[in-house]
Amino acid sequence: MQQPGVFVISRSQCFVLGRLVVDELEILTVACAPSHQKQGHARTVMLNLLNRAACNGGLWSFLEVASDNIPAISLYKGLGFAQVGLRKGYYKRIDGAIFDALLLRKNLI
């Protein structure tokens, strides 16, 4: 992506996409191929993104995650993100199940 403030970090079938606006990094997408999960790759790309944002003036980072995505929640909390909000009934699965969105935030400095 060739846009100012947009970062794509990838490694070993994992990537993270983030957007830095003024001093706030919004993490838009984190993905890792199933064959490469639980090997630390997602953690590595996340740490690289957070560092890059901090080096470019970022003070805060935030993201949202479905409340049933336990592996992702564990990753984010392990990186120091804390829940700051909740969107009730935000996600609706194909099977009709409904889940909340957790809003998480982390200080970059």
Q: What is the pTM of this model?
A: 0.89
Task: Report d(CA 61, CA 54) in Å as an integer.
Answer: 9
* Terminal-to-terminal C-alpha distance of the chain: 25
Q: Provide the pLDDT for residue 2.
A: 58
Each residue's pLDDT tens digit, 63-90: 999 999 999 999 999 999 999 999 999 9
Amino acid at 14: C
Side-chain-side CA neighbours of 48 within 13 Å: the count stands at 16
Provide the pLDDT for residue 109.
Answer: 87
Segment 79-107 mean pLDDT: 97
The CATH architecture that domain 6-107 belongs to is: 3-Layer(aba) Sandwich (3.40)
Backbone angles phi, psi at 91, to 5 degrees: -105, 135
User: Predicted confidence band at 1 (pLDDT cuts at 50, 70, 90)?
Assistant: very low
Average model confidence (pLDDT) for the chain? Answer: 94
Residue 100: CA count within 13 A, CB half-sphere: 10
